[in-house]
């Protein structure tokens, strides 16, 4: 459930409008059997939010089943939720995106607005909670990660950020259970202008997303960008692999924010997890609001980790197996990977020919905080301490293994970045 659902939203024509009333449990149930525009018959409620619900429906003209999202808004006051989703679905379908539902129709039947999309399967959150261990195997997590990155790439390529990335918003196909798509664009927002340049960030922004998976920037009420979708992806992957997050016991949003910051800065978020998770953490720390994410780099991380663990790129997901999967055991001596350095993309991802040739816009080698007071560079791209040690204590009593993947203060200063990028500021 999204935070701040009752704040005023802008409609497609720019007029401010608030929700008139909530979509009650009783109202959502009474709509079952209703037919919109003599075509779309609601069959079963699949889920419900504060101001709308999602149903399975039958197209009476062809007798096929779809999903239909219904909002109780008068047609003349279409809310931003339906409007944004229509825009985004249209753009994604036009670009032949493969990891989003297809849009089949939309309309208004007072006091409701609706959109009709592909009927997909269960969410990753459903499968995780349905499993005995409440977590996935390493193979399933990394393979899912590859598809989740592709989902985000398709959304970001349209110039939008999702702003509510979480396992519950990634679903499988109804028949192809290992195919993953992204859903629920109700709080998505345009990030790039028509010329491909990041829009000016607002100085005051309400919290957007789901507290458990939101980035630190969301907690700080900052404008969100593609990096924030990837922060949420990292949190989701940690939960999928381990069955938990460091802030599970936190009682309120402020406590969650503090715990997230601590887990990120001291390395406990990814302690004992595959090397790709450490690289991704370090990479996200280095990104600013204006940076686009190098999707190919992130994909490479997960592919290299699959190979390092002797796992094929393709294979059945845990929920397709008859027996229990082999779960990942956190370790401090897992296999190393050596990915190429990521590219820093800005202003719509355009790079000059000279920069592309010389690599001057590539993010430099990762470094680690050594056992001494000075930061020491490792080999290009390596977030580990010498010899692969992960548990060595440094002179300040801090576990240097927890800091692997975080750039050195000196290197960050050279690039005009503060430690933890701009999470602190």
Separation between Cα atoms, residue 345 and residue 298, nearest integer Å: 14
Q: Which residues contact 225 (CB under 8 A, 6 or more apart)?
A: 161, 191, 198, 201, 289, 290, 291
Separation between Cα atoms, residue 265 and residue 260, nearest integer Å: 9
Cis peptide bond upstream of 111, omega within 30 = yes
Catalytic residue among 13, 38, 59, 164: 164
List residues bridging with 362 in a β-sheet: 343
The answer to whether the CB of 330 falls within 8 A of the CB of 138 is no
Strands 52-59 and 170-172: unpaired
Separation between Cα atoms, residue 5 and residue 381, nearest integer Å: 42
Separation between Cα atoms, residue 142 and residue 314, nearest integer Å: 10
Where helices occur in 184-342 by DSSP H, the ranges are 216-219, 226-242, 253-265, 275-286, 295-308
Q: Which residues contact 8 (CB under 8 A, 6 or more apart)?
A: 16, 17, 18
Q: How far is CA 95 from the centre of its chain?
A: 20
Token digits for 195?
């010329």
User: Given the structure tokens 């999928």, which residue do they identify?
Assistant: 240
- Residue 422 designated active-site: no
Q: Which residues contact 165 (CB under 8 A, 6 or more apart)?
A: 152, 182, 209, 213, 229, 230, 232, 233, 236
Token digits for 44?
């079963």
DSSP label at residue 109:
E
Separation between Cα atoms, residue 299 and residue 147, nearest integer Å: 9
Q: Report the interhelical angle of 226-242 vs 138-157 (nearest 10°).
A: 160
Catalytic residues, by residue number, are 164
């Amino acid at each position: 459930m999204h935070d701040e659902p009752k704040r005023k939203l802008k409609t497609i024509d720019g007029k401010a409008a608030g929700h008139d009333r909530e979509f009650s449990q009783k109202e959502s149930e009474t709509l079952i059997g209703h037919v919109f525009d003599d075509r779309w018959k609601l069959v079963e409620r699949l889920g419900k939010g504060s101001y709308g619900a999602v149903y399975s429906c039958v197209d009476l003209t062809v007798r096929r089943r779809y999903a239909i999202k219904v909002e109780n808004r008068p047609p003349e006051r279409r809310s931003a939720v339906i409007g944004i989703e229509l825009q985004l679905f249209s753009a994604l379908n036009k670009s032949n995106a493969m990891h989003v539902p297809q849009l089949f129709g939309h309309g208004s039947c007072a006091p409701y607005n609706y959109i009709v999309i592909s009927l997909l399967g269960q969410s990753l959150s459903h499968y995780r909670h349905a499993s005995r261990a409440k977590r996935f195997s390493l193979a399933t997590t990394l393979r899912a990660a590859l598809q989740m990155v592709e989902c985000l790439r398709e959304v970001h390529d349209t110039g939008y950020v999702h702003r509510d990335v979480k396992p519950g918003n990634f679903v499988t196909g109804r028949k192809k259970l290992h195919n993953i798509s992204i859903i629920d664009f109700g709080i998505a927002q345009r990030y790039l202008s028509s010329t491909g340049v990041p829009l000016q960030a607002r100085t005051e922004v309400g919290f957007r997303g789901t507290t458990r998976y939101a980035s630190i920037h969301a907690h700080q009420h900052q404008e969100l960008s593609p990096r924030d979708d990837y922060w949420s992806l990292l949190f989701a992957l940690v939960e999928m692999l381990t069955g938990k997050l460091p802030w599970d016991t936190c009682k309120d949003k402020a406590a969650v924010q503090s715990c997230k910051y601590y887990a990120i800065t001291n390395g406990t978020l990814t302690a004992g997890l595959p090397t790709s998770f450490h690289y991704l953490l370090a990479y996200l720390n280095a990104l600013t609001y204006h940076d686009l994410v190098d999707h190919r780099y992130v994909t490479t991380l997960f592919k290299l980790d699959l190979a390092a663990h002797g796992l094929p790129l393709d294979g059945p997901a845990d929920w397709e197996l008859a027996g229990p999967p082999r779960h990942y055991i956190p370790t401090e001596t897992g296999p190393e990977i050596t990915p190429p350095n990521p590219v820093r993309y800005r202003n719509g991802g355009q790079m000059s020919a000279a920069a592309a040739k010389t690599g001057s816009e590539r993010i430099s080698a990762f470094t680690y905080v050594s056992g001494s007071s000075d930061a020491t560079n490792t080999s290009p791209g390596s977030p580990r301490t010498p010899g692969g040690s992960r548990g060595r204590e440094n002179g300040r009593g801090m576990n240097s293994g927890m800091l692997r993947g975080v750039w050195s203060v000196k290197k960050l200063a050279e690039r005009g970045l503060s430690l933890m990028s701009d999470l602190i500021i």
